[in-house]
Structure 1
Amino acid sequence: MRILRPVEVDLALVGFGGAAALVLSALTTPLRVAVIDPAGLDAADSKRRTWAFWTGPTDELDPVLDAQWPGVDLFGPSGKQRLDLSPMRYAMVRSEPIFGLAAEAADRLAAHTVVANVGDLVDNGSSVDILDADGASVLRARWVLDSRPVKPARPGRTFWLQHFRGWWVRSETPIFDPESAVLMDFRTPQPAHGVSFGYVLPTSANTALIEYTEFSPRRLGDSAYDEALRAYARQLGLGNLIVDEVEDGAIPMTDAPFERRPSARVVRIGTAGGATRPSTGYTFSAMRRQATQIAELIRSGRDPVPDAAYPRRHLWMDSVALHAWDSGLVSAPEFFERLFLRNPPDRVLRFLDGRTSPAEELALMGSTPLVPMARSALRSLRT
């Protein structure tokens, strides 16, 4: 009787979203790689996204950027503020070129593509047996990078979502300023519990991504997002827009911890691995850092276990901020306006990416509403 042994690989990527695509495209070391997803590499077609991120004067993604802006507009309680981001930029990339780079890497590495719903990951200490939803063996890997959505390891004090709907629009007449994006426009009607704001990310004088975003505990219904976008477009004085595409999403904003390494040879990446910034929902920059570090670790012959996406002190500060907003101690529009207007913009952006020093963070904390933030901090120490 012939016994069929499972295919063995060095690295298996379970789930093919943005995090896995960035890891795959960063790999340069020859190794046996597998990608496992219910849709295989075609998962990219159903996971179209737009990512915005902060970057410096040059970036390896420059050839595939949809747009970049040296300055942004902020509409807060004090009105409109133009922020010069120099020496940084706000940049936007769509998912298609990111998944395209990953597909090229898959060809270069001769990666196995397995179309399957993954069930259990059985870690025996020296390898991981990957089973499908029916318990059948899919393959065996020395290491697994798992980007599937997962619940936090335990509840936190606050659980919000960054939830949004965006319209890719075009106009027959030039109505957008391609040199500046609207980062946060708090003139939108504010929900009873949470905060809302608009984005305008122009890609030309005639085209833009217009987005309505809320930070709050629950998503809205489809009609509510559409009405909010229509109202925001009217508020901006934008008429006769043609909507070419629609994007939706919901990203966790929580101080609940995610278990980054559920077993010795299984490592979570992306949001499941802590790449989402709790206070903003930003994820892309941390996913890139994870991917770059994983590729470097493999290249140097070390275990592909990246560092935590954000310093522990940043996560504590995020927990304090989330609780302050959730409890009504602090107005989120006032918080963000003060953060940007009382600090150099590049310091704020580096903080949101988790790349500031303790001295800079003291200055940032000093620019926020001190008394209510101190109350929130004291409450965090008692829980």
Structure 2
Amino acid sequence: MSGALVEVDLAVVGGGGAGSLVLSALARHGLRDVRVAVVDPVRRRGQDRTWAFWDQPGNDLDDLLSASWSQVEVVTPGRQRVLDLTPLRYAMLRSAGVYQRAADAERRLGVTRVVAGVEGLDDDGERVLVRTGAGGPTLRAGWVLDSRPRPPHRPGRTNWLQHFRGWWLTAHGPLFDPRRAVLMDFRTPQPSRGVSFGYVLPVDSRHALVEYTEFSPALLTGAAYDTALAGYCALLGLDPARYTVGEVENGVIPMTDGPFVARPTPRVVRLGTAGGATRPSTGFTFTAMHRQAEQSARELAAGRPPVPGPAYPGRHRWMDAVALRALDRDLVGGPEFFGRLFDRNPASRVLRFLDGATSVAEDLAVMRSSRMRPMITATLADAIGRLRDRVAPGRRPTWTVPPPVVGTDAPADP
């Protein structure tokens, strides 16, 4: 197909998690007589990342899950909380099943696969020219769903990263409690600027993903992540002589109040982090990404533009901006902030809030969980920052897109 012009109705740019979810959703919604192409320089297969998220049982993901839990722990120094998530569950999803299901959908849909990078998208309002590199074909598409990582439209007032490393541990005998996961454990040493925590996702009594995560402005060295992970394992009472480390997963996810433009041109729609699916205050991504795929496929199958709704309500993005500012300026401490959130709300409300699914009344209850004085200070500072942005937008700091996400989306998605 080198140098050819390929006509399609839909081009999916990027075949990772978001693109794979779209393909599966298109097949599940019974798409017919629609020409689809996937453009990605690599074919995704096997285990290259893990997503952890919460949802209600009884959906299309049930058969793909590696594990799920109805109870989780949130631990702060001096206090251990065991939270009942009913009617929700906390679930682990590994990439191999997602990629395989997408490959099956690709065959059923008769998808054209273009193994190439994309050099440009030219949208004239009627069709989009997808220009590929390395002598690949040019596609002319009615719509483009683009999931490639990219920075926000403009830098935010607060720009952090959720960055992490996880070890897949195999114990020599029963070592883990598979009945519940550790969602957040804030007993880890806290960085001078930012928040750190560990978590544990047990598949069974001998296998678990143990991870160290930071919310902070800068990445660590590889040695520092390993040291932090070893320290967390020791904190859990895990004797290195009783387990071996198998796979290692790493990841970086943006946490910023900078805006992501979900529809940059009339017929180009962005998905995943580039489409606003990442929750700014936590880095959680998977549930919104899955929702975007479902909505896009449902609309297209009904003969409508494949445009999903906003990933989160506008008031939630504002609340996230205030929370990020409060954490960044050290107005509140991370362990205290998240501890109060879970202490003063049912776990299901907190999780639904983080998914953007709470009512205004529930949002007010979530807001009352925090200490008022520091949050009022952060709110006023955020309002002043927004005013300054309107008056002198050029004063914003520069910010580059973080490295591509590799590894888990947990707890982004924990």
TM range (shorter): over 0.9
1:249 matched residue in structure 2 = 251
Q: Deviations over 1:282-339 (max 9, x none)?
A: 1100011001100110111110111110000000000000000000001111111110
User: In the TM superposition, what is the alpha-carbon distance from 1:381 to its structure 2 partner?
Assistant: 1.2
Matches within 5 A, 1:168-247: 168-239=168-239, 240=241, 241-247=243-249
The separation in 2 between residues aligned to 1:7 and 1:76, in whole angstroms, is 56
1:70 matched residue in structure 2 = 70
Greater alpha carbon shift after TM alignment, 137-146 vs 220-229 = 137-146
Q: 254, 264, 267: which one pairs with 1:265?
A: 267
What is the identity, as a one-letter code, of the residue corresponding to 2:275? Answer: G
Is 1:44 aligned to 2:45, yes or no?
Answer: yes
3-state SS of paired residue (1:44)? coil
What is the identity, as a one-letter code, of the residue corresponding to 2:277? Answer: A
2:361 matched residue in structure 1 = 359
Greater alpha carbon shift after TM alignment, 245-254 vs 84-93 = 84-93
3-state SS of paired residue (1:160)? strand
The separation in 2 between residues aligned to 1:58 and 1:32, in whole angstroms, is 30
TM-score (norm 2): 0.89
Q: Deviations over 1:36-65 (max 9, x none)?
A: 0111xx2335x7110111111433211121
3-state SS of paired residue (1:333)? helix
Equivalent residues of 1:275, 1:309 under 8 A apart: yes
What is the identity, as a one-letter code, of the residue corresponding to 2:55? Answer: T
Equivalent residues of 2:195, 2:215 under 8 A apart: yes
The separation in 1 between residues aligned to 2:368 and 2:266, in whole angstroms, is 41
1:80 matched residue in structure 2 = 80
Q: Percent identity?
A: 58
User: In the TM superposition, what is the alpha-carbon distance from 1:88 to its structure 2 partner?
Assistant: 1.1
What RMSD in Å do the two structures reach over aligned CA positions? 1.3
User: In the TM superposition, what is the alpha-carbon distance from 1:34 to its structure 2 partner?
Assistant: 0.4
Kindly report structure 1 stretches of 4+ aligned residues shifted beyond 6 Å.
Answer: none
User: In the TM superposition, what is the alpha-carbon distance from 1:135 to its structure 2 partner?
Assistant: 8.5
Is 1:7 aligned to 2:6, yes or no?
Answer: yes
3-state SS of paired residue (2:214)? strand
What is the identity, as a one-letter code, of the residue corresponding to 2:50? Answer: T
Equivalent residues of 1:129, 1:137 under 8 A apart: no
Report how many aligned residue pairs link the two structures: 377
The separation in 2 between residues aligned to 1:14 and 1:132, in whole angstroms, is 10
2:286 matched residue in structure 1 = 284
User: In the TM superposition, what is the alpha-carbon distance from 1:380 to its structure 2 partner?
Assistant: 1.0
Is 1:55 aligned to 2:55, yes or no?
Answer: yes
Q: 322, 325, 329: which one pairs with 1:323?
A: 325
Q: Deviations over 1:67-96 (max 9, x none)?
A: 111111111144111111111111111011
The separation in 1 between residues aligned to 2:374 and 2:279, in whole angstroms, is 22
What is the identity, as a one-letter code, of the residue corresponding to 2:312? Answer: Y
User: In the TM superposition, what is the alpha-carbon distance from 1:253 to its structure 2 partner?
Assistant: 0.4
1:23 matched residue in structure 2 = 22
Matches within 5 A, 1:339-378: 339-378=341-380
The separation in 1 between residues aligned to 2:263 and 2:157, in whole angstroms, is 22
Greater RCO, CA 8 A, separation 6+: 2
The separation in 1 between residues aligned to 2:136 and 2:247, in whole angstroms, is 39
Gaps (5+ residues) in structure 1?
A: none
3-state SS of paired residue (1:208)? strand
Matches within 5 A, 1:70-149: 70-133=70-133, 137-149=137-149
Equivalent residues of 1:156, 1:257 under 8 A apart: yes
Equivalent residues of 2:44, 2:99 under 8 A apart: no
2:403 matched residue in structure 1 = none
What is the identity, as a one-letter code, of the residue corresponding to 1:43? Answer: R
The separation in 2 between residues aligned to 1:257 and 1:271, in whole angstroms, is 11
User: In the TM superposition, what is the alpha-carbon distance from 1:134 to its structure 2 partner?
Assistant: 6.3
Equivalent residues of 1:17, 1:44 under 8 A apart: no
What is the identity, as a one-letter code, of the residue corresponding to 1:9? Answer: V
Equivalent residues of 1:77, 1:334 under 8 A apart: no
The separation in 1 between residues aligned to 2:237 and 2:139, in whole angstroms, is 56
What is the identity, as a one-letter code, of the residue corresponding to 1:196? Answer: S
Greater alpha carbon shift after TM alignment, 127-136 vs 274-283 = 127-136
1:158 matched residue in structure 2 = 158
Greater alpha carbon shift after TM alignment, 54-63 vs 290-299 = 54-63
User: In the TM superposition, what is the alpha-carbon distance from 1:171 to its structure 2 partner?
Assistant: 0.4
3-state SS of paired residue (1:338)? helix
The separation in 1 between residues aligned to 2:228 and 2:130, in whole angstroms, is 44
2:409 matched residue in structure 1 = none
The separation in 1 between residues aligned to 2:297 and 2:86, in whole angstroms, is 30
2:396 matched residue in structure 1 = none
The separation in 1 between residues aligned to 2:320 and 2:4, in whole angstroms, is 47
Q: Deviations over 1:5-47 (max 9, x none)?
A: 61101100111110010001000212111010111xx2335x7
What is the identity, as a one-letter code, of the residue corresponding to 1:225? Answer: Y
TM-score (norm 1): 0.96
3-state SS of paired residue (2:230)? helix
